[in-house]
Chain A
Amino acid sequence: MPADIDIERVAHLARIALTDDERALYGEQLAHIIEHAERVQALPTEGVEPTSHPLPMVNAFRPDVVTESLRREDALAGAPDTQNGYYRVPKILDES
C-alpha cells in the first residue's frame, strides 16, 4: 500500500467501519486505483482541452416554474420513523 493512503481516515470520512481484513483488502484496491490515476496523470496532455463532463453539453436549465410536489404521506412512506409530518431521526451529536 502506498504510504500516502491513510485508510483509517478515508474510512472515517465515509463513515464506514472496517474490519482488519477489509482494511487490508480496500487498502490494496485503493492503491491500484491511485496507481492508475498516476499513470493517467503522467500522459502528455499539452494542447488537450480539459474535459469537465463526458457529454459535450452545457447549460441544461429549467424555467422557474412550480411543479407538483409529492403528497406528504407518499414522501414519508419510506421513512423508518415519522412524527406529525416530520421525518424523525436519532439525535444528532454534532450540532452545526
Chain B
Amino acid sequence: MTEWEAVIGIETHVELQTKSKMFCGCLVDSGDEPNTAVCPVCLALPGALPVPNKEAIEGILSIGDALECTLIEDSLFYRKNYFYPDLPKNYQISQYTFPLCLDGRLAVDVDGEPTMVGITRVHMEEDTGKSTHIGESGRIHGADHTLLDFNRAGVPLVEVVSEPDIRSPEQARAYGAELQRVVRALGVSDARLEEGSMRFDVNVSVRPVGSDVLGTRTEVKNVNSLRSMQRAIAYEITRQIEVLENGGSIHLETRHWDESKGATRSGRTKEGSEDYRYFQDPDLLPLHIDEAWRKRVHERRPELPAAKRARYAALGADPRTAELLVDAGDLAALFEAAVSAGAEPRTVGIWLTGEVVAYLRRENVTLDETGLSADSLVELAQMTGAGDLSATAAKEVLNGVLAGEGTPSQVAESRDLLQISDASTIETEVMAVLDQHPDAIEKIRDGDAKPIGFLVGQVMRATGGKADPRMVQDLIRRKTQA
C-alpha cells in the first residue's frame, strides 16, 4: 500500500480596519444598509480615479514585517481582470509581480512540535462587494437573479500566501490561528473568521511519501472557522487518496466546504492565472517604500504573540497557560501587572486561566466588571505562599474577590477560610488525634506508612479542614518516629 503525504498551502485574506476604503474616502464599517458607502471611485463611474489609503499601506507593511518578509522597495498595483459582478470595474486592483512583501515565515506549533511555514508573498488588494442570490427556491442553484451591495467593494484587503509547507490539518489550523493572533496583535484587523474579516482558501494535494513532485491540487473555499478548515482539509486528503487509489485522477478545481454535510463538493474548474490578464494599473503610481520607511515599520513592531508566550514561559507559566493568557489580552495585562508586583507567576497564571475564566463564563461578565485587581492577586499569592490558605481555599477566596466581596484577606476572614498554620495550635490538635489512635502509631513504628494519611485526615476533620496539611503531616511523622 502506498503511504501518502498531504501538501497544503493557504491563502489568507485579511480586511484591514482602516476608517476609509482602499482607494476612496467611503466609510469602511458602514453597517447593513446596502449601497450607502459607495462613490464614483468604488462604483467605477467613468473618470473616477483611485488614490491609495496611506494607512492601509502602513497596515500591510506591518503584517509583512511581522511575518519576517522582505519589504519591497519598488512595488506596483495591477489589474486582475475577471467577469463577475461583485466588483463594478470588471477588474480588481491587486498586485502581481512586485508585491509589497516577499519571502517571509511564520513558526507554528502543534503539540510542542514546531514547524516553520514559509510565506511566499503578502500583497495589497481591494475587497469585493457582497452578492445575494435570490430565486424561487432561495438557493444559489435555483437563483434567477442576484442582488449586489457594494459597501464592502474597495475595503482594503491583504492577501497572505503561504508556501506549501503544511503537512497536516492540525498544522493548517495552527497556522491559521497563529496568523490570526499576529494580525490582532498588530491591531490592523479584528480578523474575525465568522464575519469574514479573515478568510482562508486552502490548496490541498497528496503525493506518495518520499516523492518530491507535487500532486494536482484542489482549492477549498468557504471555510469559516479554524475548526471547519481543519475538517475540510482532513476530508479533502481522504477523498484525494481514495480517488487516486481507485485509479482516478485529481482535477485542478475549486471545491466548496459544506459544514452541515462535512464534505467538499466540486465547484468550477480553475482558470489558469494568465486568464486574469494581469497588467499594471495605469491609474495608479508606483509605490516606493524607502529604507527610512521600512525601518520605521520594523521599529514600531509590537511584541508578537510567540515572543510574549516565550516570555511568560520564561517567567514560569507552563506553555498552555502562557498560550491562553496571550490569546486573552485582558488576562495577559493582569498577569503582567501581578507578576511585576511580585506575585508567583505559575500560580497566578493557573488562577487566571482556570478559576477566573470559569467565573467569567459562568457569570457572563468581563474582567473589568469584576473586583479583581493585580493587587488582590499579589495578596492572594502571598497568603497561599505563607500557608494562610490551602490551594482549595485560595480558589474559593478568588471567587469571592471576583464577586466583589472585598480583598482576599477580607474574603478569607468572612468566609472563614484561613488555614491554621500556627505551630502550637496544630501540635495540640495532632497530639489529641494521636492519643486516640495508639494502634496507628504502633503500625507506623513497625514500618507501615499507610496510617499517616489516615491520621492527617483525622486532624483535618477535627480542624474543619483548616489545618495546613503539610505541617500536620510533618508533625505526625516526627511524633511517630521510634
A69, B38: Cβ atoms closer than 8 Å: yes
A24 CB–B CB distance under 8 Å = no
Is there contact, CB below 8 Å, between A86 and B147? yes
Instruction: Take A59-B288, A65-B19 as given contacts and tell me if A89 and B34 are in contact as well, using a CB distance cutoff of 8 Å.
Output: no
Q: Mark A79-96, 1 if CB is under 8 A from B, else 0.
A: 000011111111110111
Pairwise interchain contact B277-A13, C-beta atoms closer than 8 A: yes
Contact partners of A83 in chain B: CB under 8 A:
147
Q: Are A92 and B143 in contact (CB under 8 A)?
A: yes
Q: Is the Cβ of B40 less than 8 Å from the Cβ of A70?
A: yes
| Cβ-neighbour of B146 out of A53, A59, A92 (below 8 A) | A92
In the complex, the answer to whether A58 meets B287 with C-beta atoms within 8 Å is yes
Binding stretch for chain A, among B25-33, B208-216, B416-424, B456-464: B25-33
* B146→A91 contact, CB < 8 A: yes
Report the bound CA distance from A91 to B147 in whole Å: 9
- The yes or no answer to A39 lying at the interface (CB within 8 A) is no
Residue in contact with B18 in the complex, picked from A15, A57, A64, A85, CB distance below 8 Å: A64
A43 within 8 A of B: no
Q: Are A92 and B54 in contact (CB under 8 A)?
A: no
Instruction: Point out the residues of chain A lying under 8 angstroms from B76, CB to CB.
Output: 52
Given A57-B285, A92-B133, residue A64 in contact with residue B19 (CB < 8 A): yes
In Å, the complex CA distance between A89 and B133 comes to: 10
Contacts of B39 on A, CB cut-off 8 Å? 67-70, 75
> Is B36 in contact with A72, judged by CB distance below 8 angstroms?
yes
Q: How far is the CA of A67 from the CA of B131 in the complex (A)?
A: 25
Q: Are A89 and B287 in contact (CB under 8 A)?
A: no
Identify the closest chain B residue to A67 (Cβ). Answer: B25
Let me know if A75 and B145 touch, CB within 8 A.
no
Determine whether the beta carbon of A61 is less than 8 Å from that of B51. Answer: yes
Residues in B neighbouring A69, C-beta threshold 8 A: 26-27, 36-39
B26 and A87 form a contact (CB under 8 A) = no
The interface residues of chain A lying within 8 Å CB-to-CB of B85 are: 87, 89, 92
Cross-chain contact A91 with B144 (CB below 8 angstroms): yes
Compute how far the CA of A72 lies from the CA of B30 in the bound complex, rounded to whole angstroms: 13
Bound CA span A61–B254, Å: 36
Is there a chain A Cβ closer than 8 Å to B3's Cβ? no
* A53 to B24 Cα, complex, angstroms: 21
The 0/1 profile, CB within 8 Å of B marked 1, for residues 35-70 of chain A is 000000000000000001101011111111111111
Chain B CB within 8 A of A7 CB: no
Closest B residue by C-beta to A81: B145
Q: Which residue on chain B has the smallest CB distance to residue A73?
A: B35
CB distance from A5 to the nearest CB of B (A): 14
Q: In the complex the two chains form, what is the Cα distance from A63 to B53 in whole Å?
A: 6
**A91 and B133 in contact (CB under 8 A), knowing A75-B35, A96-B254?**
yes
Report A68 CB to chain B, min CB distance, Å.
8
CB-CB contacts of B55-98 with A at 8 A, as 1s and 0s? 11100000000000000001010000101110000000000000
Question: Is B468's CB within 8 Å of the partner chain A?
Answer: no
In the complex, A53 Cα to B282 Cα: how many Å? 7
With A67-B26, A85-B34, A91-B144 known as contacts, the answer to whether A96 contacts B288 (CB < 8 A) is no
Is B43 part of the contact surface with A, judged by Cβ < 8 Å? Answer: yes
CA of A12 to CA of B298, assembled, Å: 46
Give Cα A53–Cα B279 distance, bound, in whole angstroms: 12
Would you call A66 and B268 a contact (CB within 8 A)? no
Chain B residues, Cβ within 8 Å of A72: 34-36, 38
Interface check A76, CB cutoff 8 A: yes
A64 and B55 contact, CB distance less than 8 A = yes
List B contacts of A65 (CB < 8 A): 19-20, 25
Let me know if A62 and B34 touch, CB within 8 A.
no
Known interface pairs A61-B51, A67-B26, A87-B148. Does A92 touch B286 (Cβ–Cβ under 8 Å)? Answer: no
Q: How far is the CB of B139 from chain A (nearest CB, A)?
A: 11
Counting chain A CB atoms within 10 Å of each CB, which of B19, B38, B40 scores highest?
Answer: B38
Contact between A95 and B268, CB atoms less than 8 A apart: yes
B289 and chain A: residue at smallest CB distance: A59
Contacting residue for A92 out of B57, B131, B280, B285, CB 8 A: B131
Closest to B143 in A: A91
Is the beta-carbon distance between B35 and A86 smaller than 8 angstroms? yes
A22 to chain B, nearest CB (A): 20
| Distance between Cα atoms of A83 and B147 in the complex (Å) | 7
Residues of B within 8 A of A87 (CB): 35, 85, 147-150
Residue of A nearest to B84 (CB): A96
Contact, CB under 8 Å: A61 / B286: no
Q: Residue-by-residue, is B422-444 near A (CB-CB < 8 Å gives 1, otherwise 0)?
A: 00000000000000000000000
Q: Does B354 contact A (CB under 8 A)?
A: no
Contacts A/B (CB < 8 Å), 7 sampled: A70-B39, A72-B38, A85-B33, A87-B85, A87-B147, A87-B150, A92-B131
Known A75-B43, A91-B133; further 13 A-B contacts with Cβ < 8 A: A58-B74, A58-B287, A59-B286, A61-B53, A63-B53, A64-B55, A64-B56, A65-B19, A67-B24, A86-B35, A90-B146, A92-B84, A96-B84
B interface, CB within 8 angstroms of A:
18-20, 24-27, 33-40, 43, 51-57, 74, 76, 81, 83-85, 131-133, 135, 140, 143-150, 254, 267-268, 275, 277, 280, 282, 284-288
